[in-house]
Amino acid sequence: MVVTGRNETALKELVASIHSDFSNLNVHYITGDCAIESDCKKIVDFMIEKHGRIDIVVLAAGVAAHGKFSELQNLEILKRVMEVNLYGYINMTKYTLPHIK
């Protein structure tokens, strides 16, 4: 299994917990941001390097914007929502799909 996210400290803690709680030492992490296409390629390359194949991909990244649209100071938060919640999924699918097919 490979877990990924932007926070390396949290990833290290997660992997340590999996190793400890489930005695699974075949879990690895790599940092990356799904909204950055080159990070997605790096993540997929890492998965293939560690395991030789991809069986399942769980796309679970997401961010939200709260508040009234009329009160937004700028639209950058909505841009980030679209980058992660839409393009993040597109980016990861682009690089994982050839290995799953």
Judge residue 46's burial from the number of C-beta atoms within 10 Å of its C-beta, 0-12 exposed, 13-18 middle, 19 or more buried: middle
Which structural domains are found in the chain, ordered by start?
2-100 (3.40.50.720)
Tokens 């709260």 belong to 66
Q: How far apart are CA 54 and CA 95, in angstroms?
A: 11
* Full-model pTM: 0.88
SS (HEC) of 15-60? HHHHHHHHCCCCCEEEECCCCCHHHHHHHHHHHHHHHCCCCCCCCC
- pLDDT tens digits, 3-28: 999 999 999 999 999 999 988 789 99
- pLDDT tens digits, 53-98: 999 999 999 999 888 888 888 889 999 999 999 999 999 999 999 9
